[in-house]
Amino acid sequence: MNDQTLQTAAADADLVQMMRDVLDGDVTDRLTAAGSGVVFDEALWTQLAELGLVALTTPEKDGGSGAGLLEAAALYSEAAANARHLPLIETDLLANWLLATAGLPVGDPTTPRTVAVLDESGHAAAVPWLGGARSVVIVRRGGGSTTVVDVEASALGAVADIASVPTNSGQPRADLALTGELPAGAELADADAVLDELALRGALARAAQCAGALQKAVDLAVEHTSVRIQFGRPLAKFQAVQQLVADAAAESALARAAVDAAVSEAAAEGLRDPAAATKIAVARSCAGHAASVVVRNTHQAHGAIGTTQEHPLHLFTLAALDWRSEFGTTRAWDRALGALVRAAPTQLWPVVIGQAERAARR
C-alpha cells in the first residue's frame, strides 16, 4: 500500500455498539413530535451524560471524557441515523471547546449549550438550538478585538431579540439580534484561526450527521422495496426501482467514505492542518450532493407513503437537507474546492487525494 492510498481510522467497535444500543429504539415518539417541532429530550440527554457521551471530546480536566474526533463523529452519525436530535455537537465540540480555548471556565460540561457568532452589526442567523439550550456562548468582534461571553439563556432576552426560524425537519433554529450590553467575557487570542477551526468543527460534524441520516434513508428504501408487492412482485424486482435505490446507495457510500477520510485526517493531524481542511471541504461537498440524490430517490422509491407524517423517512431526509446548508452551503464548499484546484493547476492529483498542502510543505 503506497502513501497515496486512502486510509481511514475508526472509533472503537465496542464503543460504537454501545452508542447504537443507547440511541436505538422505536421512533414513534419522534414521529408524534415531528409535527410540532423537535424538542429537547431531557431524559435521553441525562442518560447520555451519565455514559460520558455528552461531553465526549471535552478534556478530562474540564469534566469531560477526553475522547477524540473519531469517537465524536461516530456518535453524531449514530444519533442522526436514529433521529435523536440533541445539541451534542453544539455543546461539546463547539461551545465547551470555545470556552476552554478562550480561557473561560467550562463549568458543568453537560449543560446544553450552543454558540452564536455575531457579525459586526450584532446579529447571528439561524443559531442551532437557540431557545433550547440553557447557555449560549457568544462571540463578538469589535474595537479591534474578539470577545467570548458565556450567557445564561434565561438572561439572554434582556440583551437580545430572538426570533425562531423554521426548518425542514423542525429542529430549533433562531436568529439573534443584540439590543443591549453583554456581560464581560474573555478576549480571544488568535481569533481568526480559532473561528476558522470552529467553522471546520461544525462543518465536519454536520457532514457526519448527513452521512448517518442518508444511510438510514437508503436502508429504509431497501427494506420498503423488498417487501412492498406491486403487480405481483416486490418493487425491488423492477429495474427502474433498482436503479433508484442503487444510485442512492452509491451516493450515500461516497458521502460516508469522504466523511471517514476527513475525520481520520483531522483526528491524526488536527483540524487546522491544511490537508484536513481540504478533506473536510470534500466531505461537505460529497454529503451535500449526496443528499439531493438520496432524498429524491428514496422518496420516489417509497411512493406516496414516504411523504406522510406517519412514515419515518422524513425524519432522516429532511434533517439531512437542513444540515447540508449549515456551516457553509454545498455551493460554498464546491467553490472552495474549485479555488483550490485553480490555485494548483499542475498539482491536480495531490489535490484530488488531499495531499497537495502536505506535498507543498516537504
Q: What is the pLDDT of residue 354?
A: 61
Range in 2-16, 322-336, 341-355 with the lowest mean pLDDT: 2-16
> Domain segments of the chain: what residues?
13-187, 191-360
Please report the pLDDT score of residue 34 as a whole number: 65
Average pLDDT, stretch 234-245?
Answer: 90
Domains 13-187 and 191-360 are alike in CATH topology: no
Q: How far apart (Å, rounded) are the C-alpha atoms in residues 246 and 107?
A: 48
pLDDT band at 253 (very low <50, low <70, confident <90, very high): very high
Q: Residue 76 burial by CB count (10 A; 0-12/13-18/19+): exposed, middle or buried?
A: buried
Query: Is 147 in contact with 187 (CB distance < 8 Å)?
Result: yes
The mean-pLDDT minimum among 204-213, 225-234, 331-340 falls in: 225-234
Q: Which CATH architecture has domain 191-360?
A: Up-down Bundle (1.20)
pLDDT above 80 for 2: no
Over residues 298-304, mean pLDDT: 95
Alpha-carbon separation of residue 98 from 59, 92, 253, 269, 312 (angstroms):
12, 9, 32, 19, 35
Confidence check: pLDDT of 50 > 80: yes
Helices (H), 270-347: 274-302, 313-323, 330-343
Q: What is the predicted pLDDT for the residue at 235?
A: 84
pLDDT value of position 358: 46
Q: What is the pLDDT of residues 185-203, one digit of tens each?
A: 999 999 999 999 999 999 9
Higher-confidence position of 309 and 48: 48
Mean pLDDT along residues 334-348: 84
Per-residue pLDDT, averaged over 251-268, amounts to 97
| pLDDT tens-digit series, residues 68-95 | 999 999 999 999 999 999 999 999 999 9
Nearest 10 degrees: Cα torsion 228, 231, 232, 238: -70
CATH class of this structure's domain 13-187:
mainly alpha
247 band by pLDDT with thresholds 50, 70 and 90:
very high
Q: What's residue 227's pLDDT?
A: 83
Is the model's pLDDT at 67 over the cut of 60?
yes
pLDDT band at 286 (very low <50, low <70, confident <90, very high): very high
pLDDT for 61 beyond 70: yes
Question: Is the predicted pLDDT of residue 144 greater than 90, yes or no?
Answer: no
Of 206, 205, 193, 202, which is closest to residue 101 (Cα–Cα)? 193
Angle of CA points 110, 204, 95, to nearest 5° = 30
Which residue in this structure is represented by grid cell 466531505? 283
Give the residue-averaged pLDDT of 207-218: 98
Instruction: State the DSSP code for 91.
Output: I
Is a pLDDT exceeding 50 seen at residue 362? no
